[in-house]
Amino acid sequence: MKIKVELLEFIQCVLANVLRQHDKKIAPCLINKTGFYSVVYQCNPSFMHQQLNELILQALNVAQHQLVVVVTNKNKHLELSIFADDNQEVAAQCTTPEKVTYSQAIKLPSHTIAVQATSSQINTIMASLISHSMVNFISSIEQADQCISLIDAKDIVKNVPVSANVTTIQFCEISKVSNTDISDTNTLFWPFYDTDIINMMDTKITPEPLCILIADDSIPSLIATKAMLEKLGCKVVTANDGARALALAQQQQFDLLLLDERMPGLYGSDVAKQLIEQDGVNRLTPKVSLTGLTEPEEITQLFSKGITHYLEKPVTKLALEHFLTQWQA
């Protein structure tokens, strides 16, 4: 029987269970390169568990001290690659036969983040975390804009003052969650993804405003949408046709692309399709269709070409404000 499974968490739990039962003491490093926090896949959980278990064991046969597990978005499928130790060659790999559903886009911080830990498990994977992650992790605390201290939950000492320049996050093993006091604090569950760290950060740096590209051939609509977004604190770049939107999106990274569908020359969904096919800087950027289309078949066609979200015209400030919350810290 097929059911919807949160695939990233599923991989995390299966990996933890396999390592707990294995003879070798192997440290896992999980890297999320999908661009999203949530990946839902419809599958038979028992069959998926068996496949993952076999894949991990295959990599463990050649590993001595760590496994680096990298998940990647491959044309809306999920690709899982496992590297043994510091080896650059893939030890085991698989791709979902069916497409997955991505949601909760990750907004990568532009500043540098140093990660420090007293745990030998964390220190074992530190070099791999820095080299594989899309997050700008560095090893030097002195050169970092922000410092994260990861502390094992069993070593937590209550009421100990922490430097104002350091964000403290505790972690505990998934298998020991029931025996751990995780109240009143941020907690990561080991093994965790690199992106879980930034998701848990109580950042002391003011978040950068969202940078949004709007493309619309209707000048009144373009001006109105731009004004609403700027009042919501966003940086806005505009284009009055699809060709201009495509050119801008090929040159500059945006947090969101708001694309009117029925533009002369190049439709919004065609812009989305070309950006994905060209594998450029905005391949994973959420692509939002602004349109009056309402028929299910028409909406399905938009999504099949690369549109990820849909807002019906005319767009209101309240609708935009609610819509943007999923990308704002």
pLDDT in tens, 50-65: 999 999 999 999 999 9
The pLDDT value recorded for residue 45 is 84
Q: What is the mean pLDDT of residues 295-311?
A: 87
Whether the per-residue pLDDT at 41 is higher than 50: the answer is yes
More confident residue, 318 or 132: 132
Q: What is the mean pLDDT of residues 82-100?
A: 92
Q: How many whole angstroms separate alpha carbon 320 and alpha carbon 55?
A: 43
The pLDDT value recorded for residue 156 is 55
Whether the per-residue pLDDT at 318 is higher than 50: the answer is yes
Whether the per-residue pLDDT at 304 is higher than 50: the answer is yes
pLDDT tier for residue 161 given thresholds of 50, 70 and 90: very low
Give the percent of the chain with pLDDT over 70: 89
pLDDT tier for residue 185 given thresholds of 50, 70 and 90: very low
CB neighbours of 36 closer than 8 A, spacing ≥ 6? 73, 102, 103, 104, 105, 106
The pLDDT value recorded for residue 160 is 45
- C-alpha closest to that of 29 among 169, 134, 131, 129: 129
The pLDDT value recorded for residue 169 is 80
CB neighbours of 90 closer than 8 A, spacing ≥ 6? 81, 82, 83
The pLDDT value recorded for residue 38 is 87
Average pLDDT, the chain: 84
Q: What is the mean pLDDT of residues 24-45?
A: 89
- Residue 180, classed as helix, strand or coil, is coil
pTM as predicted: 0.60
- C-alpha closest to that of 31 among 179, 149, 134, 167: 134
Whether the per-residue pLDDT at 180 is higher than 60: the answer is no
Whether the per-residue pLDDT at 205 is higher than 50: the answer is no
Whether the per-residue pLDDT at 152 is higher than 80: the answer is no
More confident residue, 162 or 218: 218
Q: What is the mean pLDDT of residues 150-176?
A: 64
**Do the Cβ atoms of 212 and 237 come closer than 8 Å?**
yes
C-alpha Rg value of the chain to the nearest Å: 22
Burial 200-219 (b: 16+ CB within 10 A, else e): bbeeeeeeeebebbbbbbee
The number of residues making up the chain comes to 329
Q: What is the mean pLDDT of residues 120-130?
A: 85
Q: How many whole angstroms separate alpha carbon 98 and alpha carbon 43?
A: 9
Whether the per-residue pLDDT at 188 is higher than 90: the answer is no
- C-alpha closest to that of 304 among 324, 289, 285: 289
Report how far apart the first and last C-alpha atoms of the chain are (Å, whole number): 37
Q: What is the mean pLDDT of residues 162-178?
A: 65
Q: How many whole angstroms separate alpha carbon 166 and alpha carbon 143?
A: 14
More confident residue, 166 or 100: 100
The pLDDT value recorded for residue 174 is 62
The pLDDT value recorded for residue 321 is 87
